Amino acid sequence: MKSKAINHGFIRVAAAVPKMKVGDIDYNVAQILEFAKKASDKGSSITVFPELSITGYTMGDLFHQQLVIEKSKEALNRIAKSSRNLKSLILVGLPIAFEGKLFNSAAIISKGKILGLVPKTHIPNYKEFYEERWFASGYDLYDKEVEISAHMVPIGTDLLFRIKNSPEIVLGVEICEDLWVPIPPSSFQTVRGATIIANLSASNDLIAKADYRKNLVAQQSARGICGYIYTSCGVHESTTDVVFGGHAIIAENGSILAESKRFQLDGELVLSEIDIQHLISDRERTSSFNGSVDKAEKKNFRFIDFDLNIPPPQILNRYIDSTPFVPSNPTEKDKRAEEIFSIQAIGLVKRLNQSGIKRIVLGLSGGLDSTLALLVAVKAFKLLNLPLKNIYAYTMPGFGTTKRTKSNAVKLAEALGTTLEEIDITKGAYGHLKEIGHDGKNQDLTFQNVQARYRTLILMDKANFIGGLVLGTGDLSEIALGWCTFNGDQISHYNVNASIPKTLVKHLVNWVSEQKDFKEAHKILTDIIDTPISPELIKNKGNEISQKTEELIGPYELHDFFLYHFIRWNSSPAKILFLANKVFAKKYKPDIIKKWLIVFVTRFFQNQWKRSVMPDGPKVGSVALSPRGDWRMPSDAEAKLWLKELRD
């Protein structure tokens, strides 16, 4: 099922760490309501408080005091009544006496009603934890309902909470230690439909424990392909030998969306948006996730349906990356670049070893794509201990080749120590134009494509002649847009750039330029990065590049953003437009973004037939368009449905 379009699949959630006083229930209730109102006013639809937040977690033997048990229940009713004025579902923790046992429970509350109680399943009793002294496990529960203020309330570890008007949003609940066991309750909850997990926790702080805790949350959200709201009690729980920091985390499918600062005396409220559409999309296509549903322990869950209005997000708290293929963190960026470059090189190494070919042929234009392909070839040959002179780079100036690009191609090959040969294609291209009846004056598509195909013909013939492999240079962005000449630069024996989008190509070339193995080429690579992107297929005025790709088909930073969200998350054009307008608001006007998104959708659908016959190339990321693996689409599919959404 799909979320309502107005929300674009987003639901804002909050993890609250309120101030509190151990044993002062009235004070704690006031703080819970204050933070709940604050979260509701900020648009949170689900707000989670820490474990045993009504009483305090560190009560010890005071948990058995009848006064505490009764006042906790009264406090729960007060919170429930006050929730009538809140727009948010809230989750609080308290001890519940039932069946002659005491349960450490989470209460789920909405619009004045207690929807259900979920007891903690796994009770820790080691080191500083000795909860078994007071609490029974949810496994020890017999009945399925408990009476609270003359109302029967569902209780159990088998409860899932589903929003009626957005049934794809299903909330599962676990408490603290439940996350730390080999098979957490949330593992069963997610395979039975839960898309968001709430964890009410009381995890004390030790050296490096916060990082471990964060990794646990991130990993569980990844395994469950779910959103995960985790909040642990704050500094005011600290007592005797333990200190609590108040760790709040919101995660989604392996990524941390928001995290508290910890050790804040005034408490903290952390908000972000969970993208339910992303989660549903990933679940639908991850066959192993769906397969695990049938193999999982057969546990029947009770669904508690309730009404909740989810307001459309006007402002997003979560970070939306404008360059999703290039990490923004410098350390991560360099680490990622090294990994990608290695994947490209090893893919080529394997192809050369398997084929027994020891020579490479490629066209070197002085542009970014062919530069990256050459750098990968050099790396592969060094790994194989093959002479770099066995890399045959051909610069093939044509009608639109400028002095700058030709010069950089020559200098780069010389700096890297590869073989370089110049073959001027002007005469041959004119001859071919004449053969097909073209006057050679009209710089139309035929005029341009003749050059691309003629260059490929030369490379293929040269490869036959010397026993080499033609290395492709076209990148993922060009493949997505069909910005390549069929049976021209679209074809090769192996394409190392096949899953590298243009924004990443630029970053990789820049990263390689900083490596000591390529220091001789640093200055040249820097100039190549600064050169305007162009196919150089039409005649230039003077020596300036007149055919600039991004002026013709749009900025690659936009197209790569569109591509990522269209392929990785199967997002609708309306949602992509919504996100792009948020991310690029300071750089592009909405009508410009929409214009180029229409171009992207149109060209993507029009050019699948080119992708259907693309050569092999190494997959490096989650977005790839190989017809043999990641992307299988009919060549004649209609784009009308997608374009209509943008034009309505």
Tokens 């909740």 belong to which residue? 308
Residue 483 makes CB contacts below 8 A (sequence gap 6+) with 477, 549, 553, 603
d(CA 119, CA 229) in angstroms, rounded, equals: 17
User: Residue 305 carries which side chain, given as an amino acid letter?
Assistant: D
For strands 166-175 and 196-201, give the pairing: parallel
Q: What is the pLDDT of residues 58-105, one digit of tens each?
A: 999 999 999 999 999 999 999 999 999 999 999 999 999 999 999 999
- Specify the length of the chain in residues: 648
Residue 515 makes CB contacts below 8 A (sequence gap 6+) with none
d(CA 287, CA 304) in angstroms, rounded, equals: 27
pLDDT at position 6 is 66
Structure tokens at 425: 């294609």
Positions marked catalytic: 51, 120, 176
**What parts of the chain have a pLDDT lower than 50?**
1-5
Q: What percent of the chain has pLDDT over 90?
A: 88
Q: Where are the alpha helices (DSSP H) in 270-402?
A: 276-285, 287-295, 330-355, 368-384
User: Which DSSP string do the residues of 478-526 spell out, in sequence order?
Assistant: HHHHT-S-TTTTT--SEETTTT--HHHHHHHHHHHHTSGGGGGGHHHHH
pLDDT at position 1 is 38
Closest CA to 187 of 220, 154, 152, 145: 220
d(CA 601, CA 645) in angstroms, rounded, equals: 11
d(CA 110, CA 92) in angstroms, rounded, equals: 11
Phi, psi of 103 (to 5 degrees): -115, 130
pTM of the model: 0.92
Structure tokens at 519: 């220091």
Closest CA to 8 of 289, 233, 352, 311: 311
Phi-psi domain of 524 (left: phi exceeds 0; alpha: psi -120 through 50; beta: other): alpha
pLDDT at position 501 is 97
Closest CA to 55 of 67, 47, 40, 39: 67
Which domains can be identified in the chain, with CATH numbers?
11-306 (3.60.110.10), 330-647 (3.40.50.620)
Q: Which helix (H) or strand (E) holds 27?
A: helix 25-41
Residue 102 makes CB contacts below 8 A (sequence gap 6+) with 63, 64, 69, 95, 96, 134, 135, 136
